[in-house]
Structure 1
Amino acid sequence: MSLKIAKQSRINGKHIKHSANTKLVSVIERETTFLVKSKTPFISAVKQIQRSLDKFNKKINKKSTNKYQGGDYKKVKYIVVKGMGKAMEKTLSLGVHFEENYKVDVFTGSVEVLDEFKINENASDSEDEDDEETIYKKRMVSYVELRIWLQRE
């Protein structure tokens, strides 16, 4: 198996897409960040984001006030919703949905991702791992980030 970095030409082979580095570091960051994919159902995303917003809202959330209103959770000011590539349109639609009741900020940018191509060097249809060549190709992908601000007093 050999490794190569691809040039800007078209590559024919099995395309394995790798996501951008989206590792969430802390527990609070995991609870306040929602990643939208192209296959994420819109209504499901609305409900999950609304649950996150309700969790940190003082008026609605009276039972778990101790956990989500004090300590490090007190520093949380907004919920982050992120989407890249094909999921950008759905992410922006979520922003428009929540704009009626919350303040929503929109940020855009680009991130570099790494694509992996596996090319079978033999013309036969064998699935032999040793005959596959792996090529990596970097590309830039647009992303959108929404910040939905909490309604805390």
Structure 2
Amino acid sequence: MGNGPLERNLHFEMKNQDLVKLPRYAKVEKRPIPHAPVASPYAGASVPKIVYVSSKTPFMSAVKRVQKLLRQAEKRATAGISLEDTQKTEKQKLAELAQAAETREEIFVKATGKAIEKALNVGKWFEEKEAEYKVRVTTGSVLVVDDVVEDEEKKDGEMRKQQRQEKADDAGKKDFANKRKREVAKVSEDEELPETRTRWIKKVEVAISFK
């Protein structure tokens, strides 16, 4: 898992317990992390606008997506305000602009694991333009599910190897201590492995808005 210079400045709560050790003939296949569908840029302010960043997401592509969402949010915020409205005083117009600024939408850049550093760099890109954008970062963790898959060929090989070792022990070629050690780690043909395994991974959320 990545641990870049920006990520090292953050604090993450460690939630993982010791994971169950799997035999050598089993492997873990990671499932895609589920997340809510990406909202339309034109959806109302009540719908969160999220940009999901993976380790393969091009950096500037993520930046441009955030910029597009920010422009649409700004249009929504000022849609009902007209500086040319002669029915309103300058004070009223300024008050409406101030209210729109206070309720500006945030665009959320979210990432987990190795993609965290990239999401933080997207936030840094906007933060460096201090006159325009406001950026805040929150950390957390998400529970993911992995599939446990048996390799039958490797399992058969492990069983044959184990049987050969037992025969060698019975013939006195190995001392008693080593035999007991192997018996503790012995894999039974009838042993049932869990179909899945859960773990916690780090996540980060970078909220970006106009000032």
TM interval, shorter chain, is 0.5 to 0.7
Distance apart, 1:9 and its partner CA = 1.1
**Higher strand residue share:** 1
1:52-106, Cα deviation, whole Å (9 max, x unpaired): 11112239x99xx48xxxxxxxx76211110000000000000000112310110
Question: Normalization by structure 2: what TM-score?
Answer: 0.50
Q: Percent identity?
A: 34
Question: Please, which runs of 5 or more residues in structure 2 have no aligned partner?
Answer: 1-18, 81-102, 156-192
Report the alpha carbon displacement of residue 41 of structure 1 after superposing the two structures with TM.
0.7
Please, which of 9, 12, 27 is the counterpart of residue 21 of structure 2?
9
CA distance in 2, matches of 1:11, 1:148: 45
Residue 126 of structure 2: aligned partner: 98
Please report the TM-score for the alignment, with normalisation by the length of structure 1: 0.67
Whether the 8 Å CA contact 1:119–1:134 is kept in 2: the answer is no
Q: Which residue among 114, 122, 129 is the counterpart of 2:153?
A: 122
The structure that is helix-richer by fraction is: 2
Residue 107 of structure 1, CA deviation: 0.1
State the SS of the aligned residue for 1:37.
coil
The 1:77/1:36 distance shift into structure 2, 3 A limit, reads same
**Cα RMSD after superposing both structures:** 3.3
Partner of 1:49: 66
Task: Give 5+ residue unaligned stretches, structure 1.
Answer: 1-6, 67-74, 125-132
The answer to whether the 8 A contact 1:111-1:141 is kept is: yes
| Partner of residue 3, structure 1 | none
User: Computing the radius of gyration over CA atoms, which structure comes out larger, 1 or 2?
Assistant: 2
